Structure 1
Amino acid sequence: MSVQTVVPDETFATAAAPAQLDRATAALRGNGYLVHVVDTVSEARGLVSGLLPRDESVFTASSETLRLSGIAADIDDSGTFASVRAQTGDLGDDVQAVIRLGAAPEVVVGSVHAVTEDGHLVVASASGSQLAPYASGARKVIWVVGAQKVVPDLETALRRIRSYSLPREHLRLQEFGQSSFIGKILIVEREALPERATVVLVREPIGF
């Protein structure tokens, strides 16, 4: 697929219906996740701040949801939390060093590109830097997810990534003279460790 020629499918930008959100919430809880449903991005921001420890390392995965909501700045710039990213300032252009440092934090905060109604989480990445802590590297994980990311099934989740999330990311990066691609895709079906993973579902759209 030539990302340059793809116009994002804006049908994936619309918040899911309340019934869809309810089904996804129930399924996520059945799959071992702690789930919070909030009405607004502002509520999600306050909730995440309250959930995070002050004395343990926290890694913010690359995420437009975190950036646009202000959650990334709360963690990385406020000095309130033990931010992994705040501690990487002296690593320069050593991308591998930054990736390794973020692979096993105490807590990782990020988002996903889709949540299916049967409670599966799907996230794509170019480098894969956020996938290791998401899958098992972090002791705890918090995902903040806008309601537009709730989809019926895995097939639709993968289509959402390729026809909406990737083109949107490509357009964003074009402003910096860069482009994007899908390097790796993680599908998380359930969580084995009690209370390890938390999903914050926001009833309004945020991120892509």
Structure 2
Amino acid sequence: MDKSMEFEIIRNFKSRNIEVAFFETLEEAKDRIIDIIPIDCSVGIGNSKTLKEMNISKLLSERGNIVLDKTLTESKAESELIKKKSLLSDWYITGTNAISKEGHVVNIDHSGNRVAAMIYGPDKVIIVVGKNKICDTLDEAMQRVRNISVPLNAKRAGYNPPCLKLNKCVDCKTDERVCYNLVIIEGQFIKDRMKLFIINEELGF
């Protein structure tokens, strides 16, 4: 990854009270997460293809952390409970749909539990993102989440909205829609609450 681009991203996010760290591999980022999260802390996990590749829920659970991951539940009721408990976790780890070099974190969610935890609740938030999700501007990041992230995540979740066939957002009103909550994080009131881990690999949607 170009050093001048790294410097630009670090500078712009730092001005918004978001800490940035770069890693060459997902493995390096995983080791850092394990290193900085205390064993006695509860950890909420956002549903993320990237985090599944990292296997972070299992690693944290095996070493003694209380892990709140809705994807490991066995019923819808249990999943809903875990999503609510995650809002009160000590740490929250999640992926994201896109970031801009200008310093924005952009997400579209179905139920909104992931973006809710990113915004408020957990004391610390770690966002893990591959280099493929870095966009030059907020407008490009918005286009990415609508036209790339949403169709692929809909397919993964078993939904079939029009964008899946059209490869673009048409602002549908169908029951198959998965993009009910569009959230742009432009900064943090609490300095260094949010950490952005950028991986020099293509990861997730």
TM-score of the superposed pair, with normalisation by structure 1: 0.81
Q: Which has the higher contact order (CA 8 A, sep 6+)?
A: 1
1:158 aligns with 2:142: yes
Match of 1:49 in 2: 34
Match of 1:10 in 2: none
CA drift of 1:17 comes to: 5.5
Let me know the Cα RMSD of the aligned residues.
Answer: 2.2
**1:105 pairs with one of 66, 77, 89:** 89
1:188 aligns with 2:172: no
Residues 97 and 159 of structure 1, relative CA distance in 2, 3 Å threshold: same
CA drift of 1:89 comes to: 5.2
CA drift of 1:173 comes to: 2.8
CA drift of 1:133 comes to: 1.4
- Match runs of 1:95-174 below 5 Å: 95-174=79-158
Q: For residues 171 and 20 of structure 1, what CA distance do their matches in structure 2 show?
A: 32
| Contact residue 67 and residue 73 of structure 1 kept, 8 A | no
**What percent of counterpart residues are identical?**
21
Gaps of at least 5 residues in structure 2 are 160-175
User: Could you tell me which amino acid in structure 1 is paired with residue 181 of structure 2?
Assistant: K
Gaps of at least 5 residues in structure 1 are 1-15
Match of 1:27 in 2: 12
The ranges of structure 1 where at least 4 consecutive aligned residues each deviate by more than 3 angstroms after the TM superposition are 16-22
Match of 1:5 in 2: none
| Contact residue 39 and residue 63 of structure 2 kept, 8 A | no
Q: For residues 137 and 49 of structure 1, what CA distance do their matches in structure 2 show?
A: 21
CA drift of 1:22 comes to: 3.4
TM-score of the superposed pair, with normalisation by structure 2: 0.82
CA drift of 1:145 comes to: 0.9
